[in-house]
Each structure stands twice: as C-alpha cells, then as structure tokens.
C-alpha cells in the first residue's frame, strides 16, 4: 500500500463541490472513479477542504491509498488521462508517509476571492469571478477586513448548515488589493466555517459600495447572529489556493 499526495486544480462550475454527493457530480467522485478505473481498486480520496458547488481550486491537496504497485509519475499521468473531459487537473503526484493526511495534517488553508469591478459583463471570467458594477472603495474594504482578523465568534458569517463544533475561529489574515478593475480578497486561517469566506466578502463589498460603514461590519460581527449578515457573495469568485503542512 502506498499513500499518494495529489495537488489538484479544478473549475467548480460543473460540480456540486469537492465532496461526493448523492444528487450530482463532485470533484472527489471524479477522481475516485478515475483511480478505480486505473487500479481496479475502490479508492477513497481525502481533500484538505470541502468546497461548495461552483467554488474552484488552484492547488487543492488530497491523498489516496493505492495497493497496486505504481509510481507517482505514472499515477499522475494516468489520472489526467482518465480525467480528460473533466474540469480537473492533477498538477502533482508524490508518494508520502503512511501517516500523512490531507485534512487532519493541515495547519493552514488559504483562499482567494476575485471581484471584477466594472459595468461591462464578463466575457472570459463568467462563473470565475463576481462582477460588481458599482465603484468599490478598496481602502474602506481593507480597513473593515482588519476588524475580522484574529480570534472571534464568527456565527454571523457561518452557514446555517455548518457542521463545525464551534463558531470560534482564528483568522490569521484578510486583505483586499486592487489591480486595475479587479479586486483580490485573500483569507488565511487554520480552518474556516462553512460559507465564512463568502460571507465575509459579501459584507466587505457592502462596505466598498457605501451601503455599510466599517462600524456596521463590526456590529454584525459582535452580534453573533446569522440574521445580521448583510450579503453572502456568490461562489463564482472563490478559489481554494493551497494548504499548509508541517515541514518534513
């Protein structure tokens, strides 16, 4: 038995999210089916995070155990061949220690949210970014974002379907940067609540267009009440960037 670490890129528009679902296609299922076709074995693929329907990944980490003798290079090549036609690519495949775990060994997760701030519709980025036609004040958004950094009860920014035991999370970084007509919101933490990043971005957008003040966002956070959420951003612009693991 060999445990392989996979680094995966995918466009989430065609999937119900990372996790296998009974009611539609998922990224996990596509990779597990490809592994089974290659090895003849039932495969279980464990990811570093669970993404929602429509959410993308630049470098999702995952692992799978394979009994058949196969090199990492051949497995990666075979998976990409079997996944042809899917919006999924195996960027890297490597053998790791048997106790390496994509989810439980992860010490940090990083997300990117892409906003296109223009009136014109999206021709190239449709489904891959959130278009906001109103002018956004990125400096106010950045100031508001800093209120969310640190250890807080993020109940306001938590989905009603979230299965986490506690709403308390420690956000290590949340930054807003403008590049021309595009805004990039980056978020880092050991772990996130369901919908937390999208909910934070939605409220930051309200600050950016002037519908909320920085104080309104602070009040929403302190209320610890999902009913005080101003806006949940669509999944289109959200990307799982990468996961951190201890060295060695």
pLDDT tier for residue 91 given thresholds of 50, 70 and 90:
very high
pLDDT digits (tens, 9 = 90+) for 169-198: 999 999 999 999 999 999 999 999 999 999
How far apart, in whole angstroms, are the C-alpha atoms of residue 51 and residue 37?
25
Residues in the chain: 248
The values of phi and psi at residue 237, to 5°, are -90, 0
Please say if 236 is a catalytic residue: no
Tell me what pLDDT residue 163 has. 84
Q: Which of 52, 65, 181, 244 is catalytic?
A: 52
* Dihedral sign of CA atoms 95, 101, 102, 106 in order: negative
- 39 in the Ramachandran plot: left (φ > 0), alpha (ψ -120 to 50) or beta? alpha
Beta-strand runs (E) in the chain: 2-10, 45-47, 56-66, 88-96, 108-116, 130-131, 150-153, 168-179, 182-189, 238-244
DSSP H or E stretch at residue 201:
helix 196-209
* 220 neighbors 82 (Cβ within 8 angstroms): no
pLDDT digits (tens, 9 = 90+) for 35-89: 999 999 999 999 999 999 999 999 999 999 999 999 999 999 999 999 999 999 9
How far apart, in whole angstroms, are the C-alpha atoms of residue 20 and residue 30?
9
Q: Does pLDDT of 118 surpass 60?
A: yes
Count of CB atoms within 10 A of residue 47's CB?
A: 23
Q: Does pLDDT of 100 surpass 90?
A: yes
* 206 neighbors 212 (Cβ within 8 angstroms): yes
Beta carbons within 8 Å of 27's beta carbon, 6+ residues apart: 8, 10, 12, 15, 17, 18, 47, 51, 57, 60, 88
Closest CA to 112 of 175, 158, 156: 175
Q: Across all residues in the chain, what is the average pLDDT?
A: 96
Tell me what pLDDT residue 228 has. 95
Cα separations in angstroms, 216 against 126, 128, 132, 211: 31, 29, 20, 9
- Going along the chain from its start, the domains and CATH numbers come out as 2-96 (3.30.70.580), 108-244 (3.30.70.660)
* 169 neighbors 189 (Cβ within 8 angstroms): yes
pLDDT digits (tens, 9 = 90+) for 123-173: 999 999 999 999 999 999 999 999 999 999 999 999 988 888 999 999 999
Three-class HEC string of 108-133: EEEEEEEEECCCCCCCCCECCEEECC
């Amino acid at each position: 038995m060999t445990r392989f670490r996979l680094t995966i890129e995918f466009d989430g528009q065609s999937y119900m999210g990372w996790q296998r679902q009974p009611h539609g296609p998922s990224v996990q299922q596509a990779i597990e089916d490809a592994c089974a076709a290659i090895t003849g074995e039932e495969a279980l693929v464990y990811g570093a995070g669970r993404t929602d329907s429509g959410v993308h990944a630049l470098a999702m980490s995952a692992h799978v155990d394979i009994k058949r003798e196969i090199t990492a290079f051949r497995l990666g090549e075979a998976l990409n061949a079997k996944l042809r036609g899917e919006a999924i690519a195996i960027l890297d495949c490597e053998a790791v220690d048997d106790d390496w775990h994509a989810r439980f060994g992860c010490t940090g997760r990083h997300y990117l949210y892409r906003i296109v701030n223009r009136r014109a519709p999206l021709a190239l980025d449709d489904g891959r970014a959130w278009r906001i036609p109103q002018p956004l004040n990125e400096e106010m958004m950045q100031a508001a974002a800093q209120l969310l950094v640190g250890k807080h009860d993020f109940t306001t920014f938590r989905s009603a379907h979230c299965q986490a035991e506690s709403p308390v999370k420690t956000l290590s970084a949340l930054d807003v940067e403008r590049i021309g007509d595009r805004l990039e919101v980056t978020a880092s933490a050991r772990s996130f609540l369901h919908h937390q990043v999208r909910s934070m971005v939605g409220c930051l957008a309200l600050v950016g267009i002037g519908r909320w003040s920085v104080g309104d966002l602070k009040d929403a956070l302190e209320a610890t009440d999902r009913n005080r959420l101003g806006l949940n951003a669509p999944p289109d612009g959200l990307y799982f960037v990468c996961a951190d693991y201890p060295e060695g």
